Amino acid sequence: MNELLEKSEIFNVHKMVIKAPEIANSVQAGQFVIVMGSEYSERIPLTVSDWCRDTGSITLYVIELGISTLELARMKVGDSLYAVTGPLGIPSKIRHYGTVVLGGGCYGIGGIYPIAKACKEAGNRVISIIEARYSFMFYHEKELHAVSDQVLYATSDGSKGKKGKVEDVIREMLDEGVKIEQAFFMGCTQMLERCSEATRPYAIPTKVALNSIMLDGTGMCGACRVSIGGETKFACVDGPEFDGHKVDWKELNQRKSAYAEQETVIYQSYSHGCGV
Amino acid sequence: MVEVAEKRNMATGKMTINGKAVSFFSGETILEVARRSGIYIPTLCARADLPSTGSCRLCIVKVDGVRGYVTSCTTPATPNMVVTTNSDEIEKLRRGILELILSEHPSACLVCLIRETCEQFNALSSKAGRVTGCNMCPNRNICELRQLVEYLGLKEIRYPFLYKDFALERDDPFMDRDYNLCILCGRCIRICEENLGLSAISFIRRGHDTKVGTSFEKLHVDGNCVFCMHCVDVCPTGALSVRGSKWYGYPDRETPTTCILCEQGCELVIDTKWNKVMGAHPIRDMSVGKREYCVKGRCCLPALSNNPNRLKYPAIRRDDGKMIYADWDSAINHVSDVLSKYSPREIAVLSSSSLTDESIYVLNEFARIYAESNIFYLKDNEIVFPNIEKSEEIFKDIKLLYLAEANSVTDEIVMKFGNLENIIIQDIYPVPLSASLRVCAILPATVFTEMNGTKSCAESRRKPVAKAAEPPGSAIPDWEIAIKIGNELNSPDFKIKDLRTIQSHIQMHPWTIASVPMVPKDCLTHRGFPISDFVPDFKVFIERRLESKGEIHF
């Protein structure tokens, strides 16, 4: 069960292809799974970036950001994850908008792919914008090119595409008069906020995939609650996609850092044994 | 520096740095003279406590009459030398050198357009495995490269970045290494070779592939490394880190104290955040002979202090036989009720060599008054009586045992007490005492990182122990527990009330402490508990060392 079929690292982003036929059979763009590396691991929500119904596998991109993701990062092909639950969350509602801009950073570079694909299939003009620190940190590019009319790049050091971030590319496009009918962003909270602020002055409908702390992913625990336009929503069952112009970012960031102490202290009593 | 000068016969000369007349001792380098005279010269590879090699080139200065620029860390001062340490030209050269260093060190965050907001947003670095920028680097808050970027006002890097693409090295216990961040300053190699005499690491491979490593690229645990982590302490980048203590950013406070895990009593500084022990490191000066840390003091203290299984609240046995949590007043009441059922000759105290002097003294005083001086220690399963008039003879009368190191009590030792009825435990972790024994109370004590006091160490030196963190739950120091019970039992002879009176008593009766056995340097336990039970990487270290070398030295 949940066997790791393929594993590679692209600069701290770990590609994990996992055998999960039932999930692969029913997952749709925009949905996620919750995984546990071992019996005592934290539960981590991860966007399903790709899937293959023939082989019964799903592809996840995991960033190492703490002990539980460190545990996933150290897994090898042939190992099995303790649990993979899903598909969870409401699938992206995709229709014909016209021009759609998809922005992705970190795990979102892989994460926007199924949405780009669905947008393309719905007959939209798809512009994918991806950001990274360096040119060599991009991944999943070939697939993204195949489903996008245009792929634009932003790098922190200017080594590929525009020097800057996704929102800098968007601002440039808007300044040039490109009309955007729908925007969709996936990445770290900071990136989602920055991008949403870039589309707000132009009142471009903006969806963001929120990644709050989750436990069960079925609306029972309430750990993932977020405030959207003053209303409490559960990112797991009401989301993960929400209107980027209505998210209470400050609250989301506070809630996400609620366990900073525990997440740091746990390293003291962690050991992965001698690796050889 | 005076020590250096003494070695060099105190011969002095005069020279000029930046127009200021300064004197130097024979054998001093320009950098040493400048530092002593309060003149800043940037360096990445040179440190006052390490021999210099001149590898980073950032300390270049202009010497009148000398062609080009010389590295101040390797150039000896000579009489009438005229030195300029900063000029537009020198700053420009230094910026160029730093740009070249940064073209091989992940530095995108330094030139990123949203650097400031991003750093404010990410109060702590994200806990990445592979670091590709400052905001995922454990060293962000103390990075010397970043400090130099600020100092030299570097705003852009004109060279394309080359990622070295070395494999992450995290298979060793306690230590993570990412040589993609290494700038090859060689500080780690020098401290290991020159100051510690170990040479566990060296430059390996050639040319562009040069990196720091062990011979045959073995794991450190299989080589000479003793995991003192001084290489981590001197590394100017995030290439080397202590896995358990790498992500807390700035400590809320630093507390100089003494490690009492063994008789050596090494001075160390404890970093505290969230009122918890987050890391321990040496005092800053790491000159030869100044420190000799072992893996226990350097790496094990956070996990020993913060283990979730620590005893947190007093527990007492109810009349119906069930153990329940209680507040301190009820627990002390209960304990003194039990104690007063027995005559002093029926009570014995097992004290612990791992306690501070104050706790040892109060337990001793407690035993003197309430247990007819029936106090003993356990050292390597041997029973040690500090009072030479006592022997195992007393055990046949003992009905109540007061244990301050319960985990050292083996079944074999319990067998020596034929008439045992009750046990009181005062400790830091739960003890798996056999069910047949009637434990009537468990009292949670603090570890030495959570209390003030002193500790007598080898060579009869008494050293300060300082409180660096808050204890878990309502745990209190051992001496305080013993005073509470002593006061409750209300003997007029029991006069000690606080830390100050204990310390004046210790000064008057130093033999009370001197007669206590010491904890040997190679001890693998703390207060009777195997350190490896609470620090999983210590277990890995011990097992692997025994397997590869057959012995362990600290």
Amino acid at residue number A209? A
Q: Rounded to an integer, what distance in angstroms lies between the CA atom of residue A114 and that of residue A100? A: 14
pLDDT at B380 over 90: no
* Biggest CA pair distance of chain A: 57
CB contact under 8 A, A156 and B112: yes
Determine the pLDDT at residue A239: 86
Q: How far is CA A186 from the centre of its chain?
A: 5
pLDDT at B3 over 70: no
Determine the pLDDT at residue B5: 45
For B29-71, what is each residue's pLDDT tens digit? 999 999 999 999 999 999 988 899 999 999 999 999 999 999 9
Shortest distance between the Cα of A122 and any Cα of chain B, in A, equals 35
Percentage of residues in chain B having pLDDT higher than 90: 70
For B74-125, what is each residue's pLDDT tens digit? 999 999 999 999 999 999 999 999 999 999 999 888 888 888 888 888 888 8
Percentage of residues in chain B having pLDDT higher than 70: 95
Overall average pLDDT of the B306-322 stretch: 92
Q: Measured between CB atoms, does A164 come within 8 Å of chain B?
A: yes
Determine the pLDDT at residue B497: 85
Contacts of A260 in chain B (CB under 8 A): 124
Reported pTM: 0.91
pLDDT at A275 over 60: no
Overall average pLDDT of the B132-157 stretch: 91
Searching chain B, which residue's CA lies closest to the CA of residue A11? B130
Contacts of B276 in chain A (CB under 8 A): 261, 265
- DSSP structural state of residue B29: B
Q: Measured between CB atoms, does A275 come within 8 Å of chain B?
A: yes
Residue ranges of B 257-296 with Cβ closer than 8 A to chain A:
273-274, 276, 278
Q: Rounded to an integer, what distance in angstroms lies between the CA atom of residue A47 and that of residue A29? A: 9
Task: Tell me how many residue pairs between chain A and chain B have CB atoms under 8 A apart.
Answer: 122
Structure-block tokens of residue B117:
């907001």
Q: Measured between CB atoms, does B129 come within 8 Å of chain A?
A: yes
Q: Rounded to an integer, what distance in angstroms lies between the CA atom of residue B397 and that of residue B391? A: 12
In angstroms, the Cα distances linking A251 to A189, A190, A193, A213, A258 are 11, 12, 12, 13, 11
pLDDT at A276 over 50: no
For B153-175, what is each residue's pLDDT tens digit? 998 899 999 999 999 999 999 99
B197 band by pLDDT with thresholds 50, 70 and 90: confident
pLDDT at B284 over 80: no
B240 band by pLDDT with thresholds 50, 70 and 90: very high
- Name the burial class of residue A39, with classes exposed (0-12), middle (13-18) and buried (19+) by CB atoms within 10 angstroms of its CB: exposed
B286 band by pLDDT with thresholds 50, 70 and 90: low
Overall average pLDDT of the A1-13 stretch: 93
Overall average pLDDT of the A51-71 stretch: 94
Q: Nearest CB to B121: which of A190, A265, A276?
A: A190
Residue ranges of B 483-542 with Cβ closer than 8 A to chain A:
534-537, 539-540
B2 band by pLDDT with thresholds 50, 70 and 90: very low
Q: Select from A70, A268, A274 the residue whose CB has the most chain B CBs within 10 Å, as the one to mutate to test that interface.
A: A268
Overall average pLDDT of the A139-154 stretch: 95
DSSP B173-211: SSEEE-TTS-----HHHHIIIIITS----EEES-GGG-E
CB contact under 8 A, B247 and A267: yes
Determine the pLDDT at residue A171: 93
CB contact under 8 A, B171 and A276: yes
Return the higher-pLDDT residue of B353 and B390: B353
B435 band by pLDDT with thresholds 50, 70 and 90: low
For A126-143, what is each residue's pLDDT tens digit? 999 999 999 999 999 999
Overall average pLDDT of the B390-404 stretch: 90
| ipTM (interface predicted TM) | 0.90
Contacts of A271 in chain B (CB under 8 A): 173, 536-537, 539-540
Q: What is the mean pLDDT of chain A?
A: 93
Determine the pLDDT at residue B107: 87
